[in-house]
Structure formats: structure tokens, C-alpha cells
Amino acid sequence: MKPRHKRAALVLGVLSIVGLAAALVLNAFNSNLVFFYTPTQIEAKEAPVGRTFRVGGLVQPGSVVREGVTVRFVVTDTVKSVPVSYEGVLPDLFKEGKGVVAQGQLGADGHFAAREVLAKHDENYMPPEAADALQRADKMRAKMQGTLSPAPTPANGAQK
């Protein structure tokens, strides 16, 4: 083999290694994306059944029921809600009325079996997903309010 051929072989070899590695990475990446849905979307049947995803919102006050190691609670975005069950130890900052994100799968009965429950490690801020769910619910509610009770128009016209 001439040096030039060797160099070409080397470049080809390195490129194929990188290409193969990149293909493997992207493949693993695709099968491990965890999407996020709000209780409203789950209600509207937008969430897949039997695939892992995340649901976020607030823990409905008064909904937490413990049965030994299993705990049941309801996650709400203040418009719609979804019942969740989880086995094991909840995170320290899990509280009724606070933001929560659960990761798991939705059963055919509309019941969410969580394998992981995340609560944020900070008193002041919610998990971004939970905040997102609430915001979307706000928009929904605002829309609904807009259709139900026409807002009185201010004298100077609505501002954008």
C-alpha cells in the first residue's frame, strides 16, 4: 500500500467509526425521547397509551391517598385532571397544591401509572413542565371565559 492509500484508508476508517457511532447515538436518542402532556391533552386523548411520557401540573389538594407503599394522587392543570398512582418514596418537596411532574404510562382506563415522580428542589419555582401545563390551562380558561361572558370593552378599545 502506498502512503497515500494508507492515508485514505485511515480517513475512511475514522469516518466510518464516527458515522456508525453517530447512527447508534441517534437511534438510542429517538427511542428515549420522553414527551410531555398536560392533563387537558390527556383528557382530549392526545397522549399515547402504553408509551412512557411525562404529565405535569399541581397536586390536587386533598387528593393524596396512601395505601402502604402505594400512593394515589390527582394531577391537575386547574382545568382538567388525571389520577396517578405511584409506588415508593415520594420526593421531599412533593406537597399538595404544589407543582409536580410524573413520568410513566397511561393505562387504557385513563389512569396514569407513574414510575418516577419529580418535584423541584426549590421552594419558589415549579418544574417548568408543571408551569407550562398551568399556562396552557390559563389560555384555555381565558378562551372559554371569552366565549361565555363577553368582556366589557374598555372605552379606549382593547389594547394589544
Residue ranges for the known binding site for heme are 121, 125
Q: Which residue, 17 or 113, is less far from other proteins as judged by CB? A: 17
| Minimum distance from residue 91 beta carbon to other proteins (Å) | 8
- Helix or strand run (H / E) with residue 103: strand 99-106
State the Cα angle at 58 between 118 and 31, rounded to 5°: 45
- Helix or strand run (H / E) with residue 42: helix 39-43
Grid cell, residue 24, equals 447508534
Range 26-65, binding other proteins (CB under 8 A): 28-29, 31-36, 52, 54, 58, 61
Residues 104, 141: Cα–Cα separation, whole Å: 27
Range 119-158, binding other proteins (CB under 8 A): 120-132, 134-135, 138-139, 141-142, 145-146, 149, 151-152, 154-156, 158
| Minimum distance from residue 85 beta carbon to other proteins (Å) | 14
